[in-house]
Amino acid sequence: MGQIVLEKSRIGPDMLTEQIPEFAVQSELGADIFRRVETPSERRHHYECIATVIRDDDLPRVVAYHDDARKNPERMIAAEARMRQTAALGQGFILADPRSYPVPDTPRMRLEFLLYLDFFRHWQIKTLEIARIKTLIQSGGTLTPPEISRVFRLLLDFNQTTQAQFFISAFMPHLLRMSQEKKDDRWQNAAYALRMIGDLLLRSGQAKPSLNAYEASIALGDNAFRRGLAIRAAFAADDRDATLRHLEQYERQWQLPAALATIKTVISSSDSGEAL
């Protein structure tokens, strides 16, 4: 019997990221919006959550985690709408029964299937890795600083705020001690981990603990990005003094971007902040 030879696929990573810059998956609060991030120098890619679209009385509201999402909220809403309105994406099937697989019926749908299939693979790898590390911690094992920052990177990229609580409880005391003692490795893994803990806490509505994490990260190495996050967390925590303090520190070194300038205007004209 002759062998079937398929024409070489013309579908490459550029086509996926250009034609489908972001896509949605269901999450605890609504729909998480992801994008595929290419790293050509390493011939690899990963996925990161850049926003969550929440529907209040069927009206979409965008909670942005990335500048692209803040600048293009309509694209986040469009991605969530595509997910809801595309029947094939919600079709149940049995992994071991190809007869139940959804069938893409448009060129774009074929691309989306490939994208979701690749995302599924990354999701499974993430799940296995997080489970492995959790078991290691529960059995008394230890992690190196790069391993600690890697697990928080996985949790943040996939927006696993609930799962993150276990790891925050496990590593926060150790990382805070490193911050107090001004001890970090040459790659600033402790500062990086603390910043990501701040992100995860802020996303889960824990503004004050988030601010503590950002300030501990800044103690190990100040930069505009970390200082800006501290301003956002202080403002969300309705901590006027901390917001003004971090704004002052920011302006001593850098020019305020528009979003932080808005916070300054609001906080300077009232006794308390209102989360933007």
Least confident of 4-18, 27-41, 78-92: 4-18
Which band of pLDDT confidence, cut at 50, 70 and 90, is reported for residue 40? confident
pLDDT at 173: 97
Q: For residue range 96-121, list pLDDT tens digits in order.
A: 999 999 999 888 899 999 999 999 99
Selected residue with higher pLDDT from 6 and 227: 227
Q: What is the rounded average pLDDT of the residues 247-265?
A: 97
In this predicted structure, the answer to whether residue 44 has a pLDDT above a threshold of 80 is yes
Q: What is the rounded average pLDDT of the residues 16-24?
A: 88
33: how many CB neighbours lie within 10 A of its CB? Answer: 31
pLDDT at 19: 87
SS3 content of the chain, % helix, strand, coil (to 5): 60, 10, 30
Which band of pLDDT confidence, cut at 50, 70 and 90, is reported for residue 69? very high
In this predicted structure, the answer to whether residue 26 has a pLDDT above a threshold of 80 is yes
In this predicted structure, the answer to whether residue 154 has a pLDDT above a threshold of 50 is yes
Q: Which helix (H) or strand (E) holds 37?
A: strand 31-39
Provide the H-helix boundaries in 1-72: 13-19, 67-71
Selected residue with higher pLDDT from 1 and 269: 269
Least confident of 7-11, 178-182, 236-240: 7-11
Q: Give the full edge-to-edge strand order of the sheet including 44-56.
A: 23-26, 31-39, 44-56, 59-64
- Residue 61 pairs in a beta bridge with 54
In this predicted structure, the answer to whether residue 53 has a pLDDT above a threshold of 90 is yes
Q: What is the rounded average pLDDT of the residues 171-196?
A: 96
* Mean of the per-residue pLDDT values of the chain: 92
pTM of structure = 0.90
In this predicted structure, the answer to whether residue 4 has a pLDDT above a threshold of 50 is no
In this predicted structure, the answer to whether residue 273 has a pLDDT above a threshold of 90 is no
The closest alpha carbon to 229, from 241, 244, 238, 218, belongs to 218
pLDDT at 12: 56
Residue 199 near residue 66 (C-beta atoms within 8 A): no
Q: What is the rounded average pLDDT of the residues 41-70?
A: 94
Angstrom distance (rounded) from CA 134 to CA 130: 6
Which band of pLDDT confidence, cut at 50, 70 and 90, is reported for residue 14? low
* CB burial of residue 254 (10 Å; 0-12, 13-18, 19+): middle
Single-letter amino acid code for the residue at 264 = K
In this predicted structure, the answer to whether residue 272 has a pLDDT above a threshold of 60 is no
- Residue 56 pairs in a beta bridge with 59
The closest alpha carbon to 147, from 137, 159, 162, 161, belongs to 137
pLDDT at 249: 98
* CB burial of residue 81 (10 Å; 0-12, 13-18, 19+): middle
